[in-house]
Amino acid sequence: MRKVPLAGAVAALVLGVAGAVAIPVASQADGPSPAKSRTLVFSVAFSPPEFVQANNVRNPHSPFSLGDEIVFHDQLFSGGQHVGDEAGSCVLVDVSQAPLANCTMVIRLPGGSITGQFLNAPPPRKQIAITGGTGVYDAAGGEGTLVEFGTFKGKLTLHVLSLVARRGGG
């Protein structure tokens, strides 16, 4: 008589596992919604860079040491009008030849903010990974380019993707 309840318990367990596996598969079959894309272009007025000597071990032949930081706060313009700003910090990760820094930034715009990361080195062109955002940019991803023209002027181009969660909660 014990065989019937035990067989019923095994069948319930197998069906429960099969159901748990089938739910994620169905959610993946729905696929992601198409991402929406938009390009934002700004003229940049760079602030003079501020250097923070964070490493107490100094090389007497270099103004920089590993771990030192560069902080910035720049102004953004579109059509000649001030539309926002960008602020961030860069940690020096290589000072052997030309300094190389790992940078994070927040771009404040009407309606929300966009966050990004990039490597900063002497060439005037920086490739930015868009890592997120707030407000109208809360599901932001994508990439951008920051070009320095010299004399504290530049151009910021952001290719912003609005990443949409999959349907079905998967």
Of residues 145 and 61, which shows the higher confidence score? 145
Q: Within this chain, do residues 18 and 102 fall inside the same structural domain, yes or no? A: no
3-state secondary structure 98-138: CCEEEEEEEEEECCEEEEEEEEECCCCEEEEEEEEECHHHC
Residues 109 and 138 reside in one and the same domain: yes
CA-to-CA distance for 117 and 91, rounded, in angstroms?
12
Residues 19 and 72 in one domain: no
Given a contact cutoff of 8 angstroms between Cβ atoms, the answer to whether 106 and 121 are in contact is no
User: Domain range spanning residue 106?
Assistant: 36-167
Domain check: are 40 and 26 in the same one? no
**pTM, 2 dp:** 0.75
Whether residue 127 sits in one domain with residue 70: yes
Task: Indicate whether 13 and 84 sit together in one domain.
Answer: no
For 136, phi and psi rounded to 5 degrees? -65, -10
Residue with tokens 């991402």: 35
Residues 41 and 76 in one domain: yes
Q: Is 73 in the same domain as 17? A: no
Total number of domains constituting the chain: 2
Of the two residues 85 and 167, the one the predictor is more confident about is 85
- pLDDT for res 62: 84
pLDDT for 115: 98
pLDDT in tens, 76-103: 999 999 999 999 999 999 998 888 999 9
